[in-house]
Structure 1
Amino acid sequence: MRFGKTTFFALLISSFLFHCGLIGSGSEHSSAKNGTLDLSKHSFEDGKIIPLDGEWEFYWEEFISPGDFSDPKFKSKKKFITVPSVWTDSFSKDLKSAGHGYATYRLKLKLRERKQSLALRIPDLGTSYILYANGKKVANVGTLGKSELETRAKYELKISLIPDSENLELVFHVSNFQNRWGGVWNSIQLGELENVLKNVQKQRDLEWALVLIAATMSFYNIFFYFFRRNESAHILFAFHCFLIMIRSLTNGDSRLAYEFLQGISWELPNRLEYISVYASGPTLYAFLYRYCKTDFWRRFGQYICIPYYLAVFVVLFFPNAYYTLTLLPIALYMPLVTMPIWFILLATGLKRKIEGGLILFAGYVVISLCTLNDIMLFLGLWKGIYLIQYGEVALILGYSVLISKIFSEAFRRSDTLGTKMKSLVFSTREIMQSSSYDKAADTALKMLHEKGKEQTVYVYLEEPNSSVWKRYSISSLGDLEIVEVYKYDVQDLLGLDPSSLTEPMIQNNRLIVSIQDDQPYKLIFDLPFEGYSDDSQVDWVRGIADALAFSVRNIARQDREKLAIIGELSAEIVHDLGHPIAMIRQNLKNIGSQKGKSKTNLLFQAEKEVDALTNLTLDILDFSKNRIILDLQNVDIKKYFKEIFEDLGTFFQSTKMKLVSKINAKGSIRLDPLRIRRLIFNLAKNAAEATDERGTFSIWIEKEENVVYLIFEDNGEGFSKDMEKYIFDSGFGSKKPYGTGLGLSIIRKIVSAHGGEILVSSEEGKGTRFTILLRS
C-alpha cells in the first residue's frame, strides 16, 4: 500500500528529479538472475544508488543459516522469487492466513574493488527480518519467529555497512504474522555510505517538509474558520490537510509515526495509514463542493461517498486480516467512479465561470493523475515511483493560490463596494425623496444600469388590489420605459411564480431579487447574473431594492395622508357650513313675518352669516396650508358677546332647549371675531345634538385680571373620564344623528391659534363643561 501526501511546489520538482536521478528504476543496471547480481563493472563513484532487484533465491518456511545452503535437504526447496514483491496466497495452505509465514531470501553479488565503504539502504519489509552479509548479522528489525506468538512486527528504515569484499552473500530471514502482506516488498539499495546517508537524509527532510506543510495549512485553516464560521470550506480543507499529515507520518521510507507509536502498538499507525487515505476522499469532495456547488452532488454526493465511510468503519473496528481487504475495492472505486464525476463537475464549474474554478480544476487534475499512477503501481501494471504526495502538494499550492486570489478579489471588491456604498447612500436618499413611483424606479435603475451595454435590468412593481404590474427599464437612449403587464405575464417573463420568491435566486442565468412584506406592494428586480455573482454584489442590489421598496411605501403613505387630509377638510367644511346656513334659513323664515326695523335687523343678521361663510372660505385656504392666520381685532367684551348671544337665541328658536347667558366682564379683548363666533356656535350645535330637546345650554363670560374665561355648560349625556383625552381628535363622535365629530377639533385649533387654553370636565348622564381661557 503506497499513497503519499502533501508538499511544497519547489520540493515537487526537486524531489521528482531526485527520485528519478539518484534512486533510478533499475533499468540502467543488470537485474539479479537466478539469485546472482553482477555489479563488477560498476564503480559506485558516480554517486548512484543501485536497487538490488530481480530474482533472489527463496526458501518458504525455512530459516537457513548462511553456511547451510550447501545442505542437500534445502536444494529441493530452492525457488526463485522476484524482489520486490509480496507473498501470494499460493504460499499458504490456509487461505485465512494468506501472506502469513516465514522464509529465507538469498542473493549473491559480484563487486569490483573499491575505495569507499558500501552500505545497504533497507526500507521497511513485511514485517520483521534479520539480514546477514557474508555470514555476519548486519541488520535486525522486529522480532523474528515461526508463529504469531513468537514474532513482533516493526517498520524501520535501516542503513547497514557491508563487508569489504568483491563477493557478497546477502541472506534475509523474514517473518510475518501480523499483516496481510509479507515479504521483501521494497527495493533494497546499495551504494557508497556517504551517498546513502545523503539520500536518506534528503528523503527524511522531504517527508518532514510534507508533514510541516500539511500541519501548517491545517492550523491556518482552523484559525481561518474560527474567525469566519460561515466559511465551512476552511474547516474541511483543514481536516484534509490533517489527513495528509497523518498519511505523510505513516507512509514513506522513514515511516515517521512508527518511531513514536510503534512502542505502543504496531497496529495503531497501520490503521491510521488506511484511515488517512479513505477519509481524505469524502473530505476533499466536500471541500470541492463548497467552491463548486452542483445540484448533482447536493442530491447524490453522500451516497457516492458511502464506500469510503464503510471502509473507514471497517478499518476502525475489524482486524488487519479484514480491513486490508478494503484496499483493492477502494483503489478501483476511486478512479472509476468519484474521480470522473468530479472531473465533470469541475469542468462544468469552469463553464459556469465560478470563482477559482480553473485553479481547483488544475489542482484536481494533478492529484488525479498522481493517484492513478500510484494505483497502477499498487496493481503492478507498471514500474515507477509513487507520486501522490506531489499531487497533494499541487492541491495545497492551488488552494493557497486560490485563497490569495480570493483575498485579492475581496479587497478589490471591498474598494469597489465602498465606492458603491457611498453611491448607494446618496442614491438611496434620492430614491426615498422621489415624489412618484416612476421617479423612484428611474433612479434605482440608473444605479444598476451600465452604460454601453444592452439593457437587461428590469424592475417589476405590482399595483395593489390589481392584477396589473408595471415593468420599468432603461432604454438604449437612457430614458425610462414603462410597460404594463399582467400577473401571468410576469410569471412567464421571470420563469417562476413571483409569490414563491423569498430569497435571491438564479433563474435562466438571471439574478431575481424580491422584496415582499406585509405591504400591499410587491417589488422584483431582474438582473443578469454575470454582473452580480458574489454575495457583496447581491447585498448591494438588495440595498437598492430595500430603498426602492421603502420609497414606494412612503409615497403610498403620503398619498393616503393626502386623501385623509382632503377627507377631513371636506368634513370640516360640511360641518361648518351648517351653522351659517341654518341661521340664514331661520332669518329668511322670520323676515316673512316681520316688518320695518325688525326686518332690517334680520337682514343684518343674515349678512353676518354670509360674512361667516366668507371667513370659512379663508379657513379652508389656511387649512390647506396647514396653518390658521388670525384677523385679530380689539373688541368690547360686553358688546361683542351680547351680539353673539342674540344670534344664539335665533339659532335655538328651532329647538326647545333653553339658552342661559351671562356676561360678568368689562373692557376689551384682542381676538378674531369671526373665528371665536364659529367656536361658540360649534359648542352650541354640539350641545343641541347631544342634549334632549328640554335641556339647557349655559354661557358665562368672566374676567380675572387679564384673563377672560368663556364657560360653556350643558346638562346632556356627557362622557366618561377615559374619553376626555380623545374628544378633540378628528373623527371623535357622540350619539349625534348627523355629526361627524370634527367640531371639537375645530374648536381646539381656534383656541390654540389664539394662544389660549381649553379645559373640559364631563360626567356621564350629568352633562359637560368647557372652559376656554383667553388673554385680553
Structure 2
Amino acid sequence: MRFGKITFFALLISSFFSYCDLVGSGSEHSSAKNGTLDLSKHSFEDGKIVPLDGEWEFYWEEWISPNDFSDPKFKSKKKFVTVPSVWKESFSKDPEAVGHGYATYRLKVKLGKRKQALALKIPDQGTAYILYANGKKIASVGSLGKSESESKAKYELKISLVPDSENLELVFYVSNFQNRWGGVWNSIQLGELESVLKDVRKRRDLEWALVLIAATMSFYNVFFYFFRRNESAHLLFAFHAFLIMVRSLTIGDSRLAYELLQGISWELPNRLEYISVYISGPTLYAFLYRYCKTDFWRRFGRYFVIPYYLASFIVLFFPNAYYTLTLLPVALYLPLVTMPVWLVLLAVGLKRGIEGGLSLFSGYVVISLCTLNDIGLFLGLWNGIYLIQYGEVALILGYSILISKIFSEAFRRSDTLGTKMKSLVLSTREIMQSYSYDKAADTALKMLHENGKEQTIISNNGRTIAVEQTVYVYLEEPNSSIWKRYCISSLGDLETVEVYKYDVQDLIGLDPSSLTGPIIKNDRLVVSVQDEQLYKLIFDLPSEGYSDDSQMDWVRGVADALAFSVRNIARQDREKLAIIGELSAEIVHDLGHPIAMIRQNLKNLRSKKGTSKTNLLFQAEKEVDALTNLTLDILDFSKNRIILDLQTLEIKAYFKEIFEDLETFFQSTKMKLAFKINAKGSIRLDPLRIRRLIFNLAKNAAEATDEKGIFSIRIEREEDIVYLIFEDNGQGFSKDMERYIFDSGFGSKKPYGTGLGLSIIRKIVFAHGGEILVSSEEGKGTRFTILLRS
C-alpha cells in the first residue's frame, strides 16, 4: 500500500511537470513594451515557444489597414493594452454590453536574421478575428463584423507560418458580440514550426488521454454498478467521470468537441463547459458522502449544493449574457464554503479510519488545489496554466487506488471469511448438538470470543487502541418477561443472569421489540433474531471488526445457528412431553381391556352365571398375565422397540380361546359378536400381543358402533399367509382420513378414548413382519385386514 501511495503522487508530480514543459514560461524573454517586442537576440533552436505577451497597440472600434497606421487621425486613438486580457468596461459605450464590440491590435516584433521557418500558434479567443503578418492575411476564425448580425463567434486553434523577415508586424482584427468577454484572452505564441507542431500534438494527445481516462472510468463504473446495484457510489462516480470527459472535450487548446463535431453551434459546447463544472460539484459531494457518511452532510448537504443547481438552471435556460454571470459567484462560493467544509468532513472520516480514506482524501486535496489555481487565474490574481484536468485525474487515480484497496481487502476478507465459514459449519454442528440452552449459548459465545481476539488490538494511524471485547447473548423466556443474559467471565466460565425486559432495554440502549436488523449503537453491534415461535435472541458485541457485510453475515450465521438450536431444544422438550403423554394414554387405553375382563369375571363369579368358578378364575388369571405383558410393553416403548415372545401355536385352538374371552367382554354391551375360523395348521406369533391387538379392535368397534352393531372376525389362510379380517357396521370414516388413522393422537369419533389403539395395533403387526389394511366408508362401517406369515 505504501508503494501505491508513492506511485500515485509520483504520477501526479511527473504529469504536472510534463504539462508545464509543454509551454515555455517566457520568464527569460522580454515582454512587449509600447507595442514592440524585441526577440532579435533570442534563438528558437532550443525548441521553446515564446508568448507574445505585453503591451500591444490598441484601437477601439476601429479596423485599421496595415498601411494606414501612419495616418494622423489614428494616432490620437492609439492606446496600449496588455495581452492577454479581456476588454474593460471603459471600452464599451453601452453598460449593458460590456465586452461587446470590435478593435484592432498591433504588435511589432524584431526577429533579426533567421534560418528556420517560424510559425504562430493562435489559441481560441472565444470570438472572431483576422490576423495579418506584414500586411498578409495568415489566419482567420469566425465571421468578423461590426454588429451582432454581421459577426459569428467560433472556437478554433490556428497554426500559421509568418513571413521570412527580420521584422514582423502583426495586425489583429477582433470582434465580439456573442461572448460576455471579448479581446485577446489567450497568449499568441511564436516558435519554430516543428516546435509549434510538436507542442500542439503533445497537447492534443494529452487532452485525448484525459478524455479517454474519464470515459474509461465512466464506463467501468457504470458496468460496476450494474453488477453491484447496492453500490450507488459507482454510478455517481461514473457520472462525475462523464462530466470530466465533457469538460475535457470543451476546454483546452484544441477544444476537441469542435474538432469532432464540425459545424456544431458555438453556444452548445459553451453551455456544456459551464454545466460540466456546476453539476460535477453536487455529484462529487454525493459520491464522497457514500464513502464518508456524516450526520452533518446528511442533514445539511442538500442545502450546500443548491447554488450549483441554481447556476446550472441559469446556464440551461438563459442566454450567454446572463449565464456567464454565474461564474464569479460560484468561483467564490466553492473555495469559501463547500471545499473547506468537505475537507473537514473528509479529515474526520480519515480520522475514523474509513477504508481507502487516505487516497480519496489525497485526490480531493489535489483537485481542490487545482481548482483554487484556476479560480485565481480567472480572477486575475496570478498568471499560470489551468490545472483542473490534472486535479480530476488525481481524483480518478485516488479513486482507482481506493477501489484496488477495497478489492484487495475484499479478497483478504473473503479468504478469512472462508476459513470462518468452515469453522462456522463445524461450530454450528456443535451448537445444534447442544442439549440445553446454556450449552448452546456457551458454544456460540466461545465462537464470538475467538473471532474477537483478532480485533482486540486495532492500529489506527500508528496508534494502538484496546477494544473492550465482552460479548452478551440475551434469550427471552417464552411467555414470560424474564430474559437470560449469557456471557463469558474473565475465568472463561459461562455466566448466566436473569434480567427483566425493561432491564434489557437499558443494557443494550434499545427496545428489543424495535430490532429488525443489525444496528450499531454506542460502538456496539446489536443483532436480533426472532422466529415465529416468539423466541427472541439478541447478540450484543463490540462493533469493531464487523463493519463490512461479510463479517456481519458471519455474526448473523452464528445467531441463526443459536436460534435454530434453541428452537430444536424447545421442540425436543415438547416432544419429550408429548411422548410421555402418548405413553400414558396408551397405558391407560390398554389397561382398560384386562381390567374390564377382570371386572366382568368378578361380576360373573358373584352371580355364578355362565361358566364354572374355576373357569372364571382362569380367565381372570389370563387378564393378570395380560397386565404383566403390558408392563413389558411399557419398557419396550421406552426403548422405542418391541421385543416379541414368539411361540408356535395351533391356529384354531389359539383363536377359539380368544373368541371365548371376547364373548365375556361383549357381555357388557348389546353388540353381537360373530367369528369364524377357516384356517388350519400352526402359526408363529406372540400370543399376548396378538390378543391385545384383537381386543383393541374389539374395544374400538364397541365404542364406535351403536347398540345394534355387529363385530365379526374371520380367520383365513392362503398358503403361508394367515388373514385376520375384522369388520363392524359402525360409523366408519372418510377416504381422506384413512392415511391418518394409525398416527398417534388421531382423534376418533368415539365418546371416549384418544385414538391411540390403532397406533398400538400397527406397532404389533409391524413387529411380527406383517401388514395391516383398512377399508372404510362413512355410515357403513370399517374393515381391517391383517396379514401374518405362518
Normalised by the size of structure 2, how large is the TM-score? 0.90
Residues 199-598 of structure 1: pairs in structure 2 closer than 5 A: 199-450=199-450, 452=453, 453=456, 455-592=469-606, 598=612
Structure number with the bigger relative contact order (C-alpha 8 A, sep ≥ 6) is 1
Equivalent residue letter for 2:314: V
Q: Does 1:73 align with 2:73?
A: yes
Which residue in the other structure is 1:684 paired with? 698
Which residue number in structure 2 is paired with residue 643 of structure 1?
A: 657
**Equivalent position amino acid for 2:411 in 1:** F
- Mapped contact 2:436–2:569 kept (Cα < 8 A): yes
Correspondence for 1:614 among 615, 620, 628: 628
- The aligned residue for residue 465 of structure 2 is none
- Which amino acid in structure 2 is aligned with residue 79 of structure 1? K
Give me the whole-angstrom Cα distance separating, in 2, the residues matched to 1:334 and 1:129. Answer: 34
**Does the residue aligned with 1:476 lie in a helix, a strand or coil?**
coil
CA contact (8 A) 2:469 2:541 kept: no
Deviations 1:8-63 (A, max 9, x none): 97664345335656745555544334434455565556554443333322211111
The separation in 2 between residues aligned to 1:339 and 1:679, in whole angstroms, is 91
* Comparing 509-518 and 113-122, the one that deviates more: 113-122
Deviations 1:524-573 (A, max 9, x none): 22232221111122122222222222222222222222221211111001
What's the secondary structure of 2:544's corresponding residue?
helix
Unaligned runs of 5+ in 1: 1-6
Structure 1 CA distance, aligned partners of 2:178 and 2:117? 35
CA–CA separation in structure 2 for the residues paired with 1:239 and 1:214: 10
Query: Equivalent residue for 1:135?
Result: 135
2:486 partner SS: strand
What per-residue deviation string (whole Å, max 9, x for no partner) do you get for residues 616-671 of structure 1?
11111111222211111112333323332333333333334444444444432211
Instruction: Name whichever of 224-233 and 604-613 sits farther off.
Output: 224-233
Match status 1:174 vs 2:174? yes
Deviations along 1:569-609, one digit per CA (max 9) or x if unpaired, are 110011111122222333344444559x9434333322222
Asked if 2 retains the 8 angstrom alpha-carbon contact of 1:455 and 1:476, the reply is no
- Rate the CA distance shift 1:620–1:113 in 2: closer, same or farther, 3 A: same
Deviation of the 1:145 alpha carbon: 1.5
Tell me, in whole angstroms, the C-alpha distance in 1 between the residues paired with 2:704 and 2:45. Answer: 127
- Within 2, Cα distance between the matches of 1:341 and 1:593? 109
Superposed CA deviations along residues 361-403 of structure 1, whole A, max 9, x for unmatched, are: 1110110111011112111222222221221121111112122
- 1: CA distance between counterparts of 2:18 and 2:762? 100
- Partner of 1:707 in structure 2? 721
Inter-partner Cα distance in structure 2 for 1:287 and 1:686: 77
3-state SS of paired residue (1:531): coil
2:4 corresponding residue in structure 1 = none
Cα distance, 1:355 vs structure 2: 1.1
Comparing 471-480 with 411-420, greater Cα deviation is found at 471-480
Conserved? CA contact 2:22–2:202, under 8 Å: no
2-structure distance, mates of 1:56, 1:547? 84
Normalised to the residue count of structure 1, the TM-score between the two structures is: 0.92
Q: 1:143 to 1:509 in 2, by over 3 A?
A: same
Cα deviation, 1:140-170, whole Å, max 9, x if unaligned, reads 2222211222222222233344455555433
User: Within 5 A, what are the aligned runs for 1:665-676?
Assistant: 665-676=679-690
Q: One-letter code of the match for 2:494?
A: L
Q: RMSD value over aligned CA atoms?
A: 2.9
CA 653–336 in structure 1, closer or farther in 2 if over 3 Å, else same: same
Change (3 A) 1:64 1:18: farther
Distance 2:39 2:508 in 1: 79
Give 3-state SS (helix, strand or coil) of 2:491's partner: coil
- CA distance in 1 between counterparts of 2:360 and 2:35 reads 49
Aligned-partner SS, 2:440:
helix
- In structure 1, what is the equivalent of residue 190 of structure 2? 190
Q: Specify the alignment match of 2:464 in structure 1.
A: none
How far apart are the structure 1 equivalents of 2:200 and 2:646? Answer: 111
Higher mean C-alpha displacement, 758-767 vs 151-160? 758-767
Deviations 1:216-275 (A, max 9, x none): 333333343444444333333233222222222221122222223342322232222222
Given that residues 515 and 523 in structure 1 are in contact (C-alpha distance below 8 angstroms), is that contact kept between their aligned partners in structure 2? yes
2:787 & 2:46 partners in 1: Cα distance?
121
What is the CA–CA distance in structure 2 between the aligned matches of 1:246 and 1:9, rounded to whole Å? Answer: 25
| CA displacement, residues 658-688 of structure 1 (integer Å, 9 cap, x when unaligned) | 4444444443221111111112222222233
Structure 1 pair 22/114, CA: closer, same or farther in 2 (3 Å)?
farther
Q: 1:660 to 1:167 in 2, by over 3 A?
A: closer
Q: How many residues align?
A: 770
Deviation at 1:696, TM superposition (A): 4.0
Determine the structure 2 residue equivalent to 1:3.
none
Distance in structure 2 (CA, Å) of the matches to 1:198 and 1:252: 16
The whole-number CA distance in structure 1 between the counterparts of 2:777 and 2:120 is 117
SS at match of 1:447: helix
Aligned-residue offset at 1:498: 2.0
Amino acid at match of 1:144: L
| Residue pair 1:9, 1:397 contacting (<8 A) in 2 also | no
* CA gap 1:188/1:763 in 2 versus in 1, 3 angstroms: closer
Q: CA deviation at 1:86?
A: 0.9
